[in-house]
Structure 1
Amino acid sequence: MNSKFLKLSALALGLIVSSETFAQDSVATALPVPPVFSPSTSFSTWSFGVNAGVLAPTLIYGKNDFTSWKADIGYGAYIKKQIWPAFGIQANFLGGKLKADNSRELGNGSAPASPYSSHETSVKYSGSINAYLSLANIYWMNRTNVIQPYVTAGYGLMGYDVDLTSSAGTTRFNPETINESFIPVGAGLKFGLSNNIMLDLGYQMNFVDGDNLDGYHSGPQNDKFSYTHIGLEFALGGKTKPQLSTYNPVAAMEADYIARNAALQSDLAAERAKNAQQLAQVTTDWARFKTDSDGDGVSDYFDKCPNTPAGKQVDGAGCEIKVTTVNPVKVVVTEEDRRIVAEAIKNLEFDFAKSTIRPSSYPSLNRVADLLKSKDFSLKLAGHTDNVGSNAANLKLSKDRAESVKSYLVSQGANPSRIEATGYGESQPISSNKTAAGRQNNRRVEFTLY
């Protein structure tokens, strides 16, 4: 008996050491949890296990036809398909020997009344299909299932040979293998050692459909035997997927809710910061609306000529109006001046449906600005469009384009008080809007120099 337990202890120690060796590369890093409602392809659903342990005629539950059971080494293996996080189907194999004798006296101190003193049963094969139920995935308060309690039950077939020793010391050998069905019921604990390896500690009671497991029929009850084991389970499908058996759907829903709530809080904080920035800008603009630093009657927000000397007459843009009262100079527009303006009109281009001037138009506009500065001309800008789009949109676009040209000329040093920008929309076509060429002609900004 002692030698058997020494062997079992050495085997258990070997399984634990080997499991730690396999787990070295993956214990430190946990795989990401797939999101809620992920398909089964996101998980490892197949696994296989190997185990070894104590095989006995009965342990923990009930009695058999012999009074004293003897522990022996059993061994097993299985392959499992996880259907849902808490449920799977498992195919089991079990082998080993079962031994018992009548060395223990009955409760009244008398020897058992049996023609046999001992038996040895060799389990040649034992295969069963079991339902596997993981309790950790049902207990919703657990976020992770590092320790996984489980129960199993199923149905199987087994074949065994029985050798009986009579009370007189003679042994009867049964040359034929006995085949019986049996019902395995078990429970156990699994411990996650890594992303794809689990330590399995379990107990299984097997109820045989017959009273011939020990070769002797002595009562109305059927025989049974137990298997207490330690083993390892290995997930198939690579190391990049978590096991479906360790997945907790409720914890995944909670994690998804927390992530969504954090994202919403982040978006809300960003929106609040944006609103605060806009409010600060509005406050700054409002202060400029109310402030007239140079006292010329035009608020700083609209004042294009700040720091105008006190007492000077200004226009609506806050720029000083220069009045010539002595020897006024007559302004003469020459053909060269008109050519410069015509060239600017010809080269003027905007981005499609926008008031943004394209850089290719800058050189000719620069020459117009130089002309306005050198000869003190006045300029009227009239924006026009074709009839594509609504009247209101065309009127706004024509006005914005004329204002865009004015802003550019002012940026080049032209006097804003001498430039007038007006938009007429589609109201003054110079060609038919029924053709592409006609519409192109109608999309224009006219320059009138005076």
Structure 2
Amino acid sequence: MAQRPSIHRTLVVRLVFAALCIAALVMALVLWVEMRNIDAVVKNQAAAAAQRLRWAIMEDLDAPGLGDHDRIRRTLEKPLSVKARPPGGLFVLVRILDTDYAEAAAASDPSYEHFGAAKACVAAGMDRSALQERGTWEKVSRVDGSAIIHLASALENSRGEHVGYAEGVYAVSPAVLARARLQAAVVALVAALIVLLTALLLYPVITRLLRRVSGLTDDLLHANMEILNVLGSAIAKRDSDTDIHNYRVTIYAIRLGQETGLSDDEMRALIKGAFLHDVGKIGIRDSILLKPGNLTEEEFEEMKQHVRHGRDIVGRSSWLSDAAPVVVGHHERYDGSGYIEGRRGSDIPKVARVFAVADVFDALTSKRPYKEALGFGETMAILARGRGTHFDPGVLDAFVKIAPSLYEAYVARDDARPRHDLREMGRRYFVDKDPRGRGWRPCKRTA
């Protein structure tokens, strides 16, 4: 069976929402990872610059006392000139320290726009214990979107001897940061697009699986309805030699349930209960069930037990258990004089109050081996006399509005029409529940 458009819309909305959420989450995660990678790039670039600086002053590192301090200073200042400024970044403040952290040479670029922040980094000091333990230390900071790294590393001469430290503030060029951020954004966007594309590719697969599941569900529901049909028909045939009563009374009950505003769950319980309301009669002896005359008091007491038998039967099935209120309560009376529990008023489940009216209406308008069918006027007069005693007044008043069309369409009808209409009406509640909540209306009776 084709799925309804509402299912497809719901699937599309949920799939798109889930895909967008996952894409946003993946994009944020990838962006976070890539931004951390930018920090790693900055650290590596600064470490490489520090290593180049070490080789540039290696001659003085090999000399006692760090050699010629002025020459070291000139070497430090050389990258700060406009012509020699490297494109990737540079030390805007750098110092060479001896092993006692005394400054031997220094150079700086006061023209750097965040030079104050660079000086503040140096003034805040470094973690000397970490530097001595690992031989290097760094801290990345961001100022107005620019990345600067305060780092220090141990200096060794060509013989591998520890002779001092290099401390500096390295500023990455805006162009490098811009490229890194663009790359991070592109990677994150690609990851998000992959998620969305995957969702798009999965959609037809999901819809096919949904169709299969929907088809299997429909098959199961049809099978359950057929079993319901068979059980109800078997009891009806044993009792009255016809199963059309079950179809008619269920149609009447559905229309009355709709008229009284039952919920979909209540309607499903009502339909099941209508089909199986007399299922407990399977436990009643034929001598009583098929007796043409009036029952004795003892026989009537035994006949009442069909309610308990029915409750036991439907109670054994989880799918049929919601039929119990109708099976147990359809012989209760509004004034409390019914059986089998003697409930009254609103203590009687509404589905049972609804079914009681439909059941009596069909019984009065149907021909049985022991009685003739009554006309519409006489039937409605009998129902009216039971208002407030046998029947719920509100339910009966609702039935009065629809009774003429039901009488015209179905009473004394024993062809395929009731079966067809009931099948279509039941689809709304068991297979194709109409999302717009439209109820069924009987067609005009045809020949």
TM-score over 0.5 for the pair: no
Instruction: Name the structure with the higher helix share.
Output: 2
Larger Rg: 1
Instruction: Name the structure with the higher strand share.
Output: 1
TM-score, structure 2 as length reference: 0.26
